[in-house]
Structure 1
Amino acid sequence: MDWSKTKTIFIIVFSILNICLYWMYVNRNANIENLEVMGTTSVEDVLKSENITYKLPPFVDKEASYVSADIVDFNKESLKDLKGQRIAITSDNLLESTLTDKLTFEETQKDDFKTFLSQYVLNGSEYTLWDVAEEQNKAFFFQQFDGRPIYYSPSTMLVVTWDESGRIQSYEQRMLRDFTNFNKKDLLSPLEIIGSLASRGLLKQNSEVTSVKMGYSTLVRLTETQVFAPTWDVQVKLESGETEHHFLNANDGKVIEFQIDSDSNEDKEQSE
């Protein structure tokens, strides 16, 4: 990428980002005012009245930065060390692999696919297992930055597929590089985030908040560069035993809904 093109991209990115941040600042203040009216004691009372229990992590890192990164354009030279597979680059940023080695789903699942990732996937250690859809014979992984997953970004997902006998057949990979931190902001605490969900009626009765973890979600998506915002992932165990995930912007408390199109592998993000 030449310098003039890079400069133009960053001017566009940060112009859009400034508008987004101002909008988020206004909405964040409104949300915080609502939370302050509700009050910490009131949040706890609401949760108690609904029989919602929770386990909160220590609120140590009270600030987090936005993150920008560039989309990786795969090339044969960067993939030459990958063995036991046939690789096709169907577009500059999509890698499709068909395994020739015999490897079963059961074997790889025992260690959350870590052996598979390290031996067969470019920069596999950057990915973390998110979900195993056994009815679809697929496992979904998110790329991480600084140990935190990037939730449901098409530019950072790895999807592994196996056949009915459990043999891994193929995977599709997209990846980002050159991550940069910028514009550090205050975070809403896990209790404030749970309170925000409770005030919206999004936490069901007799449920348990089992974890509140930090990651990232897409804020600005351009052709070559992506910008991500700090995002809380609230995991909730329902009375039925099922698990729900709620994603909220960690700065302003907006609820983020990811709608995955399984055919195009694209997502749509909506906020409340």
Structure 2
Amino acid sequence: MDWSKTKTIFIIVFSILNVLLCFLYLNRNAKIENLEVTGKTSMEDVLKQEHITYKLPPFVDKEASFVSADVVDFNKESLKDLKGQKTSIMSDNLLRSTITDKITLEEAKKDDFKSFLSQYVLNGTEYVLWEVAEEQKKAFFFQQFEGRPIYYSPSAMLEITWDDDEKIQYYEQRMLNNFANFNKKDLLSPLEIIGSLASRGLLKQNSEVTNVKMGYSTLVRLTETQVFAPTWDVQVELENGEKEHHFLSANEGKVIEFQLEEETEETEEQSE
């Protein structure tokens, strides 16, 4: 057997095979890129067909971390500097404070309650207004971490209540501290998020996506420690002027439905 010729034949065969594999690889990548472009185009086409318009913020921060935090147990010492109110610790992590100063709803609302929060609430600047429920005579606030709200966490909410004369009566507060970032991951873009909602039929025809904001939602809730995942809040205005919020996991695009858990009031302590 002529091994020299056999060796030459093997080299030629393997060279042809390498060229073929390289061709298949490049052809596969080209198909994937075409699919991605087609998918993006289809996503935008779906939105157009449903007459859904959108205003999206720049997609700058393309990664976000998960966050852990500890539940705050209130104590008399931490409340000693609060003025114009009478505080009651209903349970270790629930504070109820009756406002003794005369403050009207109109006065408190003029800057989205920011002055009220700063003056009367422990770490009040960490909270942001979420909703004013006129019928319930309540305003709801979410605690923020690094400027991003923690959506509907019972451990990070504040409620302000007023009476029939629109005089601020009291507030109830729960709070987190010792925040820490960990496990940074890539985010889905706002366009991918609203495309996911549209493909599921969750965006109504002739609606407008007015904003897509980043925040956090509860991933794990323990007695003393909470873990939160990056979450997109898709804000939508319907054709009739009503507004909706859709929440999705910022990493996976899963739809999140919030249910506030009722927490029982346990012991009551008085402090001034």
The interval holding the TM-score normalised by the smaller chain is 0.7 to 0.9
Helix, strand or coil at the partner of 2:239: coil
Identity between Structure 1 and Structure 2 (%): 80
Distance change (3 Å), C-alpha of 1:196 and 1:37: farther
**Deviations for 1:35-75, whole angstroms, at most 9, x for unmatched residues?**
95971100100000000000011000000000000000000
Deviates more, 1:136-145 or 1:251-260: 251-260
User: What is the correspondence of 1:92-107 to structure 2 with a 5 Å cutoff?
Assistant: 92-107=92-107
* Residue 45 (structure 1) aligns with: 45
Q: Structure 1 length normalisation: TM-score?
A: 0.83
**Larger Rg over CA atoms:** 2
Helix, strand or coil at the partner of 2:97: strand
> Does the CA-based 8 Å contact 2:216-2:231 persist in structure 1?
yes
**2:174 counterpart of 1:174:** yes
* Residue 155 (structure 1) aligns with: 155
Aligned-partner Cα distance in 1 for 2:70–2:261: 23
* Residue 230 (structure 2) aligns with: 230
Mark the runs of 5 or more structure 1 residues left unpaired by the alignment: 1-34, 266-272
Amino acid at match of 2:125: S
Aligned-partner Cα distance in 2 for 1:91–1:179: 22
**Deviations for 1:111-141, whole angstroms, at most 9, x for unmatched residues?**
0001100110000000000000001100000
Deviation at 1:165, TM superposition (A): 0.6
**Deviations for 1:67-111, whole angstroms, at most 9, x for unmatched residues?**
000000000000000001110001000000011100011111010
> Does the CA-based 8 Å contact 2:102-2:167 persist in structure 1?
yes
Aligned-partner Cα distance in 2 for 1:38–1:138: 47
* Residue 108 (structure 1) aligns with: 108
* Residue 245 (structure 2) aligns with: 245
User: What is the correspondence of 1:118-157 to structure 2 with a 5 Å cutoff?
Assistant: 118-157=118-157
Helix, strand or coil at the partner of 1:46: helix
Amino acid at match of 1:223: T
Amino acid at match of 1:147: G
**Cα RMSD (Å):** 1.6
Amino acid at match of 2:171: Y
> Does the CA-based 8 Å contact 2:112-2:129 persist in structure 1?
yes
Distance change (3 Å), C-alpha of 1:109 and 1:97: same
Mark the runs of 5 or more structure 2 residues left unpaired by the alignment: 1-34, 266-272
* Residue 206 (structure 2) aligns with: 206
**Deviations for 1:149-182, whole angstroms, at most 9, x for unmatched residues?**
0000000000000001110000000000000000
Aligned-partner Cα distance in 1 for 2:94–2:258: 21
Helix, strand or coil at the partner of 1:201: coil
Amino acid at match of 2:188: L
Aligned-partner Cα distance in 2 for 1:36–1:204: 25
* Residue 257 (structure 2) aligns with: 257
Distance change (3 Å), C-alpha of 1:264 and 1:92: closer
Deviation at 1:259, TM superposition (A): 2.5
Aligned-partner Cα distance in 1 for 2:207–2:195: 14
Aligned-partner Cα distance in 2 for 1:116–1:190: 33
Q: State how many pairs are aligned.
A: 231
* Residue 73 (structure 1) aligns with: 73
Helix, strand or coil at the partner of 1:152: coil
* Residue 184 (structure 1) aligns with: 184
Amino acid at match of 1:69: A
Distance change (3 Å), C-alpha of 1:194 and 1:235: same
* Residue 18 (structure 2) aligns with: none
> Does the CA-based 8 Å contact 2:153-2:260 persist in structure 1?
no
* Residue 58 (structure 1) aligns with: 58
Distance change (3 Å), C-alpha of 1:113 and 1:39: same
